[in-house]
Amino acid sequence: MERIYFDNAATTALDAQVLEAMMPYFTTHFGNPSSIYSYGRESRLAVENARKSVAKLLNAHPAEIFFTSGGTESSNTAITAAVRDLGCRHIISSVIEHHATTHTVEYLYHNGEAALSYVKLLPNGHVDLEDLERLLAESEEKCLVTLMHANNEIGNMLDIHAVGELCKLYNAIFHSDTVQTVGHFPFDLRNTPVHFITGAGHKFHGPKGVGMLYINENVKIKPFVHGGSQERNMRAGTENLYGIIGFAKALELASAGYEEDSSYIKSLKVYMMEQLKKNIRGVSFNGDPLGRSLYTVLSVSFPKTEKSEMILFNLDINHICASGGSACTSGADQGSHVIRAINNNPNQVTVRFSFCKHNTKAEIDSVVEKLKELI
Protein backbone atom coordinates (compact mmCIF):
# COMPACT_ATOMS: atom_id res chain seq x y z
CA MET A 1 0.00 0.00 0.00
CA GLU A 2 1.24 3.50 -0.88
CA ARG A 3 2.04 5.69 2.10
CA ILE A 4 0.01 8.90 2.45
CA TYR A 5 2.07 11.66 4.04
CA PHE A 6 -0.05 14.36 5.74
CA ASP A 7 2.52 15.63 8.25
CA ASN A 8 4.28 18.34 6.27
CA ALA A 9 4.30 20.77 9.21
CA ALA A 10 6.67 18.32 10.94
CA THR A 11 8.99 17.98 7.94
CA THR A 12 8.84 17.88 4.15
CA ALA A 13 10.40 15.73 1.45
CA LEU A 14 13.63 17.10 -0.02
CA ASP A 15 13.04 18.60 -3.46
CA ALA A 16 15.05 16.89 -6.24
CA GLN A 17 16.36 20.26 -7.49
CA VAL A 18 17.57 21.09 -3.98
CA LEU A 19 19.45 17.80 -3.75
CA GLU A 20 20.99 18.49 -7.16
CA ALA A 21 22.22 21.92 -5.98
CA MET A 22 23.70 20.34 -2.84
CA MET A 23 25.45 17.36 -4.44
CA PRO A 24 28.70 19.06 -5.57
CA TYR A 25 29.26 20.23 -1.96
CA PHE A 26 29.01 16.64 -0.70
CA THR A 27 31.58 15.49 -3.23
CA THR A 28 34.05 17.75 -5.10
CA HIS A 29 33.50 21.19 -3.48
CA PHE A 30 34.24 20.07 0.07
CA GLY A 31 36.66 22.80 1.14
CA ASN A 32 36.29 24.41 4.56
CA PRO A 33 34.90 27.95 4.00
CA SER A 34 37.43 29.26 6.57
CA SER A 35 40.44 27.97 4.60
CA ILE A 36 42.38 30.51 2.54
CA TYR A 37 43.33 28.31 -0.47
CA SER A 38 41.11 28.01 -3.55
CA TYR A 39 39.04 25.05 -2.26
CA GLY A 40 38.11 27.07 0.81
CA ARG A 41 37.47 30.26 -1.17
CA GLU A 42 35.05 28.40 -3.47
CA SER A 43 33.07 27.23 -0.44
CA ARG A 44 33.14 30.71 1.15
CA LEU A 45 31.79 32.20 -2.08
CA ALA A 46 28.99 29.61 -2.19
CA VAL A 47 27.95 30.42 1.41
CA GLU A 48 27.95 34.16 0.75
CA ASN A 49 25.98 33.76 -2.49
CA ALA A 50 23.42 31.68 -0.56
CA ARG A 51 23.23 34.44 2.07
CA LYS A 52 22.65 37.09 -0.63
CA SER A 53 19.97 34.94 -2.23
CA VAL A 54 18.11 34.40 1.08
CA ALA A 55 18.40 38.11 1.95
CA LYS A 56 17.04 39.16 -1.44
CA LEU A 57 14.07 36.77 -1.18
CA LEU A 58 13.18 38.10 2.30
CA ASN A 59 13.98 41.72 1.34
CA ALA A 60 16.64 41.97 4.04
CA HIS A 61 20.32 42.92 3.92
CA PRO A 62 22.81 40.01 3.63
CA ALA A 63 24.49 41.23 6.86
CA GLU A 64 21.20 40.53 8.69
CA ILE A 65 21.10 36.82 7.73
CA PHE A 66 22.89 34.25 9.90
CA PHE A 67 22.85 30.51 9.20
CA THR A 68 22.22 28.14 12.13
CA SER A 69 21.38 24.48 12.75
CA GLY A 70 17.63 25.16 12.58
CA GLY A 71 14.67 27.02 14.07
CA THR A 72 15.34 25.85 17.63
CA GLU A 73 18.88 27.26 17.74
CA SER A 74 17.71 30.47 16.07
CA SER A 75 14.95 31.08 18.62
CA ASN A 76 17.20 30.17 21.57
CA THR A 77 19.83 32.63 20.30
CA ALA A 78 17.39 35.51 19.77
CA ILE A 79 15.50 35.12 23.06
CA THR A 80 18.63 34.67 25.18
CA ALA A 81 20.38 37.61 23.49
CA ALA A 82 17.37 39.90 24.02
CA VAL A 83 17.61 39.26 27.77
CA ARG A 84 21.40 39.12 28.21
CA ASP A 85 22.57 41.66 25.65
CA LEU A 86 19.61 43.98 24.96
CA GLY A 87 18.47 44.57 28.53
CA CYS A 88 15.01 42.96 28.34
CA ARG A 89 13.97 42.09 31.89
CA HIS A 90 10.36 41.16 31.12
CA ILE A 91 9.38 38.51 28.55
CA ILE A 92 5.87 38.48 27.10
CA SER A 93 4.93 35.28 25.28
CA SER A 94 1.93 32.96 24.82
CA VAL A 95 1.13 29.48 26.13
CA ILE A 96 0.81 28.09 22.57
CA GLU A 97 4.35 28.79 21.35
CA HIS A 98 6.62 26.02 20.06
CA HIS A 99 8.71 24.44 22.82
CA ALA A 100 11.85 26.01 21.32
CA THR A 101 10.40 29.30 22.62
CA THR A 102 8.46 28.09 25.68
CA HIS A 103 11.33 26.13 27.22
CA THR A 104 13.79 28.98 26.59
CA VAL A 105 11.63 31.67 28.23
CA GLU A 106 10.87 29.35 31.17
CA TYR A 107 14.59 28.66 31.62
CA LEU A 108 15.41 32.40 31.70
CA TYR A 109 12.51 33.04 34.10
CA HIS A 110 13.48 30.21 36.50
CA ASN A 111 17.10 31.35 36.31
CA GLY A 112 16.02 34.75 37.64
CA GLU A 113 17.05 36.60 34.48
CA ALA A 114 13.62 37.95 33.45
CA ALA A 115 10.01 38.22 34.55
CA LEU A 116 7.56 36.24 32.39
CA SER A 117 3.99 37.05 31.37
CA TYR A 118 1.63 35.21 29.04
CA VAL A 119 -0.72 37.17 26.81
CA LYS A 120 -4.38 36.07 26.82
CA LEU A 121 -5.79 34.13 23.89
CA LEU A 122 -9.12 34.78 22.22
CA PRO A 123 -11.60 31.84 22.04
CA ASN A 124 -10.45 31.04 18.47
CA GLY A 125 -6.81 30.74 19.59
CA HIS A 126 -5.61 34.12 18.28
CA VAL A 127 -3.49 36.35 20.51
CA ASP A 128 -5.50 39.07 22.28
CA LEU A 129 -3.74 42.24 21.05
CA GLU A 130 -5.54 44.45 23.62
CA ASP A 131 -4.13 42.29 26.40
CA LEU A 132 -0.68 42.47 24.78
CA GLU A 133 -0.87 46.26 24.80
CA ARG A 134 -1.99 46.23 28.45
CA LEU A 135 1.01 44.06 29.41
CA LEU A 136 3.40 46.35 27.52
CA ALA A 137 1.89 49.51 28.99
CA GLU A 138 1.99 48.17 32.57
CA SER A 139 5.56 46.84 32.41
CA GLU A 140 8.16 48.88 34.26
CA GLU A 141 10.98 46.89 32.64
CA LYS A 142 12.11 46.74 29.01
CA CYS A 143 10.13 43.94 27.31
CA LEU A 144 10.89 41.15 24.88
CA VAL A 145 7.77 40.05 23.01
CA THR A 146 8.16 36.56 21.54
CA LEU A 147 5.12 35.39 19.56
CA MET A 148 5.05 32.95 16.67
CA HIS A 149 3.92 34.10 13.22
CA ALA A 150 1.92 30.92 12.60
CA ASN A 151 1.09 28.18 15.05
CA ASN A 152 2.50 24.80 14.01
CA GLU A 153 -0.44 22.84 15.44
CA ILE A 154 -3.59 24.83 14.69
CA GLY A 155 -2.31 27.13 11.92
CA ASN A 156 -3.46 30.45 13.42
CA MET A 157 -1.49 33.43 12.09
CA LEU A 158 -0.40 36.47 14.06
CA ASP A 159 -0.77 39.97 12.66
CA ILE A 160 3.01 40.45 12.72
CA HIS A 161 2.78 44.11 11.63
CA ALA A 162 0.28 45.04 14.36
CA VAL A 163 2.42 43.37 17.04
CA GLY A 164 5.58 44.99 15.64
CA GLU A 165 3.98 48.45 15.78
CA LEU A 166 2.91 47.89 19.41
CA CYS A 167 6.48 46.84 20.27
CA LYS A 168 7.80 49.98 18.58
CA LEU A 169 5.38 52.12 20.57
CA TYR A 170 6.57 50.64 23.89
CA ASN A 171 10.25 50.31 22.92
CA ALA A 172 10.09 46.50 23.18
CA ILE A 173 12.21 43.94 21.33
CA PHE A 174 10.15 41.68 19.04
CA HIS A 175 11.13 38.10 18.16
CA SER A 176 8.79 36.05 15.98
CA ASP A 177 9.19 32.31 15.42
CA THR A 178 8.47 32.23 11.66
CA VAL A 179 9.53 28.60 11.12
CA GLN A 180 6.10 27.70 9.67
CA THR A 181 5.94 30.76 7.39
CA VAL A 182 9.43 31.33 5.94
CA GLY A 183 9.23 29.43 2.66
CA HIS A 184 5.42 29.50 2.74
CA PHE A 185 4.68 33.24 2.57
CA PRO A 186 6.45 36.21 0.99
CA PHE A 187 8.40 38.35 3.48
CA ASP A 188 9.38 41.99 3.22
CA LEU A 189 11.67 42.45 6.21
CA ARG A 190 12.69 45.97 5.17
CA ASN A 191 9.11 46.98 5.94
CA THR A 192 8.28 44.63 8.84
CA PRO A 193 8.82 46.00 12.37
CA VAL A 194 10.59 42.92 13.83
CA HIS A 195 14.03 42.46 15.41
CA PHE A 196 14.44 38.69 14.99
CA ILE A 197 12.82 36.03 12.80
CA THR A 198 13.72 32.36 12.29
CA GLY A 199 13.59 29.76 9.52
CA ALA A 200 14.20 26.01 9.07
CA GLY A 201 15.06 24.48 5.70
CA HIS A 202 13.18 21.22 6.18
CA LYS A 203 9.79 22.96 6.46
CA PHE A 204 9.83 23.93 2.75
CA HIS A 205 11.41 20.96 0.95
CA GLY A 206 14.97 21.83 1.98
CA PRO A 207 17.42 19.79 4.09
CA LYS A 208 17.19 19.15 7.83
CA GLY A 209 19.78 20.54 10.23
CA VAL A 210 20.02 24.01 8.72
CA GLY A 211 18.15 27.19 9.60
CA MET A 212 18.51 30.93 9.61
CA LEU A 213 18.22 33.77 12.06
CA TYR A 214 17.43 37.27 10.83
CA ILE A 215 18.86 39.93 13.15
CA ASN A 216 17.78 43.46 12.28
CA GLU A 217 20.81 45.60 11.42
CA ASN A 218 20.07 48.01 14.30
CA VAL A 219 20.41 45.21 16.87
CA LYS A 220 23.83 44.31 18.28
CA ILE A 221 24.09 41.03 20.19
CA LYS A 222 26.88 38.69 21.35
CA PRO A 223 27.41 35.12 20.07
CA PHE A 224 25.36 32.32 21.61
CA VAL A 225 27.77 29.59 20.40
CA HIS A 226 31.45 30.35 21.09
CA GLY A 227 34.56 29.15 19.28
CA GLY A 228 35.58 30.24 15.80
CA SER A 229 34.90 33.41 13.85
CA GLN A 230 32.30 31.94 11.46
CA GLU A 231 29.12 33.84 10.53
CA ARG A 232 30.93 37.15 11.03
CA ASN A 233 31.91 36.19 14.59
CA MET A 234 28.28 35.54 15.48
CA ARG A 235 28.04 31.74 15.38
CA ALA A 236 31.09 29.54 15.89
CA GLY A 237 31.47 26.17 14.19
CA THR A 238 32.27 25.06 10.64
CA GLU A 239 29.38 26.02 8.40
CA ASN A 240 26.93 23.33 7.26
CA LEU A 241 28.03 24.00 3.69
CA TYR A 242 25.68 21.72 1.73
CA GLY A 243 22.83 22.54 4.13
CA ILE A 244 23.22 26.28 3.50
CA ILE A 245 23.28 25.72 -0.29
CA GLY A 246 20.14 23.58 0.05
CA PHE A 247 18.37 26.13 2.27
CA ALA A 248 18.91 28.93 -0.25
CA LYS A 249 17.83 26.77 -3.22
CA ALA A 250 14.70 25.53 -1.41
CA LEU A 251 13.73 29.10 -0.49
CA GLU A 252 14.27 30.22 -4.08
CA LEU A 253 12.00 27.43 -5.41
CA ALA A 254 9.36 28.04 -2.71
CA SER A 255 9.26 31.76 -3.51
CA ALA A 256 8.99 31.14 -7.26
CA GLY A 257 6.13 28.67 -6.78
CA TYR A 258 4.31 30.56 -4.02
CA GLU A 259 1.22 31.75 -5.95
CA GLU A 260 0.47 28.41 -7.59
CA ASP A 261 1.43 26.17 -4.66
CA SER A 262 -0.33 28.14 -1.93
CA SER A 263 -3.59 28.26 -3.85
CA TYR A 264 -3.43 24.51 -4.63
CA ILE A 265 -2.57 23.52 -1.03
CA LYS A 266 -5.32 25.80 0.35
CA SER A 267 -7.82 24.02 -1.94
CA LEU A 268 -6.74 20.67 -0.42
CA LYS A 269 -7.28 21.98 3.11
CA VAL A 270 -10.75 23.31 2.28
CA TYR A 271 -11.64 20.07 0.45
CA MET A 272 -10.64 17.98 3.47
CA MET A 273 -12.74 20.16 5.78
CA GLU A 274 -15.77 19.69 3.50
CA GLN A 275 -15.29 15.92 3.20
CA LEU A 276 -14.86 15.46 6.95
CA LYS A 277 -17.98 17.52 7.73
CA LYS A 278 -19.94 15.53 5.16
CA ASN A 279 -18.78 12.10 6.32
CA ILE A 280 -18.10 12.20 10.07
CA ARG A 281 -20.62 13.30 12.66
CA GLY A 282 -19.41 15.54 15.48
CA VAL A 283 -16.16 16.59 13.77
CA SER A 284 -14.82 20.07 14.61
CA PHE A 285 -11.82 22.19 13.66
CA ASN A 286 -9.41 24.00 15.95
CA GLY A 287 -8.24 27.58 15.63
CA ASP A 288 -9.42 29.83 12.80
CA PRO A 289 -9.05 27.45 9.81
CA LEU A 290 -10.77 29.61 7.19
CA GLY A 291 -9.69 32.94 8.66
CA ARG A 292 -6.16 34.20 9.39
CA SER A 293 -4.57 30.80 9.14
CA LEU A 294 -1.78 28.75 7.52
CA TYR A 295 -2.98 27.20 4.27
CA THR A 296 -0.93 24.08 5.04
CA VAL A 297 -2.37 23.05 8.44
CA LEU A 298 -5.73 21.59 9.49
CA SER A 299 -6.30 20.64 13.14
CA VAL A 300 -9.29 18.31 13.50
CA SER A 301 -11.05 17.12 16.65
CA PHE A 302 -13.04 13.90 16.47
CA PRO A 303 -15.53 12.57 19.04
CA LYS A 304 -13.75 10.26 21.48
CA THR A 305 -14.81 6.61 21.16
CA GLU A 306 -13.08 3.32 21.99
CA LYS A 307 -11.94 3.22 18.37
CA SER A 308 -10.90 6.83 17.95
CA GLU A 309 -8.67 6.88 21.06
CA MET A 310 -6.14 4.83 19.08
CA ILE A 311 -6.59 6.94 15.97
CA LEU A 312 -2.93 7.92 15.31
CA PHE A 313 -1.77 4.36 15.86
CA ASN A 314 -4.47 3.05 13.50
CA LEU A 315 -3.69 5.66 10.85
CA ASP A 316 -0.05 4.60 11.05
CA ILE A 317 -0.95 0.92 10.61
CA ASN A 318 -2.85 2.02 7.49
CA HIS A 319 0.23 3.85 6.12
CA ILE A 320 -1.21 7.33 6.82
CA CYS A 321 1.19 9.81 8.46
CA ALA A 322 -0.42 12.52 10.60
CA SER A 323 0.30 13.81 14.09
CA GLY A 324 -1.55 14.53 17.30
CA GLY A 325 -0.04 17.98 17.55
CA SER A 326 3.54 19.13 17.19
CA ALA A 327 6.02 16.51 15.98
CA CYS A 328 8.41 17.62 18.70
CA THR A 329 6.02 16.24 21.36
CA SER A 330 4.77 13.16 19.52
CA GLY A 331 6.77 10.90 21.83
CA ALA A 332 5.29 12.46 24.98
CA ASP A 333 2.06 11.05 26.34
CA GLN A 334 0.59 14.18 27.92
CA GLY A 335 -0.72 15.37 24.55
CA SER A 336 -0.46 18.82 23.07
CA HIS A 337 -0.06 21.95 25.22
CA VAL A 338 -1.60 23.95 22.35
CA ILE A 339 -4.80 21.91 22.17
CA ARG A 340 -5.06 21.92 25.97
CA ALA A 341 -4.87 25.72 25.95
CA ILE A 342 -7.60 26.31 23.37
CA ASN A 343 -9.83 23.20 23.40
CA ASN A 344 -9.50 21.26 26.63
CA ASN A 345 -12.31 18.83 25.83
CA PRO A 346 -11.69 15.33 27.25
CA ASN A 347 -14.34 13.89 24.92
CA GLN A 348 -12.37 14.65 21.77
CA VAL A 349 -9.23 13.38 20.08
CA THR A 350 -7.23 15.76 17.91
CA VAL A 351 -5.26 15.06 14.76
CA ARG A 352 -3.18 17.55 12.77
CA PHE A 353 -3.16 17.04 9.01
CA SER A 354 -0.66 19.20 7.12
CA PHE A 355 -0.32 19.35 3.35
CA CYS A 356 2.19 20.14 0.63
CA LYS A 357 2.22 20.56 -3.15
CA HIS A 358 2.71 16.79 -3.64
CA ASN A 359 -0.58 15.82 -1.93
CA THR A 360 -3.79 15.12 -3.86
CA LYS A 361 -7.56 15.10 -3.40
CA ALA A 362 -7.49 11.34 -4.07
CA GLU A 363 -5.29 10.95 -0.98
CA ILE A 364 -7.77 12.98 1.06
CA ASP A 365 -10.62 10.73 -0.16
CA SER A 366 -8.65 7.64 0.94
CA VAL A 367 -7.95 9.13 4.38
CA VAL A 368 -11.58 10.19 4.92
CA GLU A 369 -12.78 6.68 3.97
CA LYS A 370 -10.32 5.19 6.45
CA LEU A 371 -11.37 7.67 9.18
CA LYS A 372 -15.01 6.61 8.72
CA GLU A 373 -13.95 3.06 9.66
CA LEU A 374 -11.78 4.20 12.57
CA ILE A 375 -14.27 6.46 14.33
Residues of the chain with pLDDT under 50: 332
Determine the pLDDT at residue 307: 78
CA quadruple 369, 371, 373, 375: dihedral, nearest 10: -150
SS3 354: strand
- Residue range 33-67, pLDDT digits in tens: 999 999 999 999 999 999 999 999 999 999 999 99
CB atoms near residue 33 (< 10 Å): 19
Domain with CATH 3.90.1150.10 in the chain: 4-12+259-374
- Residue range 267-319, pLDDT digits in tens: 999 999 999 999 999 999 999 999 999 999 999 999 988 877 889 899 999 99
Q: Which residues make Cβ contacts (< 8 Å) with residue 11, sequence separation at least 6?
A: 202, 203, 208, 327
Determine the pLDDT at residue 329: 52
Residues taking part in catalysis: 328
Determine the pLDDT at residue 349: 92
- Going from the C-alpha of 131 to that of each of 94, 203, 244, the distances in angstroms are 11, 31, 39
Architecture of domain 4-12+259-374: Alpha-Beta Complex (3.90)
DSSP summary character for residue 357: T
Domain with CATH 3.40.640.10 in the chain: 16-256
Determine the pLDDT at residue 345: 85
Determine the pLDDT at residue 332: 47
- Going from the C-alpha of 311 to that of each of 335, 337, 353, 355, the distances in angstroms are 13, 19, 13, 19
Containing 132, the helix (H) or strand (E) segment is helix 129-138
Determine the pLDDT at residue 178: 98
Determine the pLDDT at residue 360: 98
φ, ψ of residue 138 to 5 degrees: the values are -80, -15
Determine the pLDDT at residue 327: 55
Rounded to an integer, what is the distance from CA 345 to the centroid of its chain? 26
Domain 16-256: CATH class, spelled out: alpha beta
DSSP summary character for residue 328: G
